[in-house]
Chains A and B, each alone.
Chain A
Amino acid sequence: MGTRGHLLEPIVDRGGAAQPLLTVQGLTKHFPVRGGLFTQRKTVRAVDDVSFVVHKGETVGIVGESGCGKSTTARLLMHLIDRDLGDILYDGMAVGADLSLRELRRGMQMVFQDSYASLNPRLTLEDSIAFGPKVHGLADRPARVLARELLDKVGLRPEVFAGRYPHEISGGQRQRVNIARALALSPRLVILDEAVSALDKSVEAQVLNLLAELKREFGLTYIFISHDLDVVRYISDRVLVMYLGEVVELGPVERLWETPAHPYTRALLAAMPSMDPDRRTESAPLAGDPPNPIDPPAACRFHTRCPFAEPICGTVAPRLATLGADGHQVACHLSTPGSGHSRAPSELARKG
């Protein structure tokens, strides 16, 4: 970005195009839940053995319902909470000797769902955006110049909005400010955690267009977390599906929409309202609510609600297996040859 050459030093790409920007391996986080005096301590198994990569320049969507662990995963990636197990590598480096937390913050930023809670109500919009750069060593005046440029970039005229406060603008405008603030440190990766979920549809469309534009202009990589499958399909290159703390399926977006392999993915897709008054949905794909991540079902966590469940599913936990050269993976005995499930294929049915 030409106008920012004199401001914060852009982050240098160290790994090259082939190095994933983010490598996540075996990420695990459990939260203890305090019981009463005489009840047993329980554990929320919020994120369990989650592994995936994010390539430079792509958008990875993460979908799942309440309790699936997608937001906890985002916070773990951002190092806002500490993980119990697993590795997180940014451009091939772990926070520690190779990469300080401060440097990570320059490289990776997040936009949250609640646009109002994300902004200090006592700071003007300009101050909020300038804050991060100042913490990272930029002087006051250049930080304000940067803030104004970013306000302009996100479609908020600085002469009107720089001096305003969060309560004086709408939800959509606040989210634009949050995006501007996320970009202020020149990150390469932006995590959007339900960033458009609280917005009206017409505002959502505007913000999605803005995100696409900024991605092109700044060469960004996105992780887009959402419960809205339509938005995820529109914006993502690859998608991860999470259920009760685990990744159950992942792959190129069109592959998942066309041939979803995991029964939960199929249920999620089938649960979307039809949009055609002559072809209304006739039956719900799943009964009941998503279960509690405290003491999830044994082995395959989905087996208690799965129409294809067999005894093997309750005794042996399925592991992510590759279905094709396009990177489609699924953790399900139905698709894994030799799993013991009566409907498992005898060999890989599809190559590439």
Chain B
Amino acid sequence: MTGLVEVRNLIVRFSGERTVHAVNDVDLTLEQGEVLGLLGESGSGKSVTLRALMRLLPKKRAQISGSISIGGRDVLALDDDQLSAFRGQVVSMIFQEPGLALDPVYTIGDQIAETVMRHEGRSRSEAMARALDMLEVVRIPSAKRRLASYPHEMSGGMRQRAMIALALACRPKLLLADEPTTALDATVQIQILLLLRELQREFGMSIIFVTHDIGVATEICDRISVMYAGQIVETGACRDIVRTPAHPYPRGLLASTVRGARRDAPLGAIPGAPPSLDVAPVNCSFAPRCPNAEARCLAARPPAIEVAPGHLASCVLAQPASSEPLPG
């Protein structure tokens, strides 16, 4: 039974002045109605993976290989017209900066109506009614008045809601969220996370949520895939990743979280820095920083091992469905 999203062997390489192997053989599956978190730090490849799903990467510089199937459609094979119809209707995206999605010279109402008219062939009045609907769904106060507002007339939190309204106007099956709450104040962030959770339940859509923040991922994701150096190093249910991670990288991340850390003791920081991605990895990318690294870690890329049903870790030391804790 194929899921809503099936990504196999995704490789993205940027060429040009420098070569960057941004995504190195990524597999992803997502069922309808599921929320998957892509958790990673800068340079992990999470945003590039997301953009590849909507073919938002620069055509000339980005070489993509592998297969991406969304709703049964082969995304890499779509021509420009098909892509245009695909975006907004089957898949939609929200960003960290609403300015990337909202056109500053058109009102919010016009922008939402435009996408409804374009994708569903509605009349302008029908489309405007939908726009009003959407603004109410995302809880923008005085929605009717706001239809005539320009993006710059709204606060940060409201712009984010407007962007969500725009993204969901045509009820896409899949919403891609690229760090949508990172730039928001804490009290606004939690409002937006709760809104997304509510909308996800109400519309039954799937979400792939990119974030670097474990707390945010925990609030909204059913499953989490942890990315490092362009690869997925561990995938599992949110609970499993956050409570019992099997791969040394997420373990290191969780051990270095500030919340709950003892004040008089140093934080358990992961030493070193991620590799530069100028060559494709041939062995375990995390080995140079790993407390458990052995010779065989440098010999080949580690396979994905199922440590529990639905919980995979790419580490030679991961034990299949074992109760033995990993050393260190």
Contacts and interface: CB of A to CB of B under 8 A. Distances in A.
A213 B269 CA distance: 14
Interface residues of B, number: 41
Given A200-B212, A283-B194, A227 B157 contact: no
Interface string B94-129: 000000000000000000000000000000000000
B273 A229 contact: no
A230 B258 contact: yes
A273 B185 contact: no
Given A65-B186, A273-B190, A273-B213, A281 B257 contact: no
A201 B219 contact: no
A200 B194 contact: no
A97 interface: no
A138 interface: no
B156 interface: yes
Interface size class of A (residues with CB under 8 A): 35 or more
B259 interface: yes
B187 to A, nearest CB: 4
B218 interface: yes
Nearest to A264: B187
B19 interface: no
A289 B185 contact: yes
A217 interface: no
B215 A275 contact: yes
A272 interface: yes
B40 to A, nearest CB: 9
A306 to B, nearest CB: 13
B193 interface: yes
A235 B263 CA distance: 7
Contact of B268 (A200, A205, A233): A205
A286 interface: yes
Interface in B9-67: 41-42
Interface string A253-288: 000000000000001100111111110111111111
Contact of A273 (B193, B263, B269): B193
- Give the interface centre of B193, B194, B267 by most chain A CB atoms within 10 Å: B267
A274 B259 CA distance: 10
Given A66-B156, A234-B261, A277-B218, A271 B269 contact: no
B168 to A, nearest CB: 19
A201 B185 contact: no
B155 A289 contact: yes
B310 interface: no
A290 B212 contact: no
A17 interface: no
Interface of B: 41-42, 141, 155-158, 185-191, 193-194, 212-216, 218-219, 238-239, 242, 252-253, 256-259, 261, 263, 266-271, 273
Given A205-B269, A276-B218, 9 more contacts: A170-B273, A202-B253, A202-B256, A209-B269, A213-B266, A268-B186, A271-B189, A288-B157, A289-B155
14 contacts: A66-B156, A200-B212, A205-B268, A208-B258, A212-B266, A213-B266, A234-B263, A273-B193, A273-B216, A275-B257, A276-B218, A281-B193, A286-B187, A286-B191
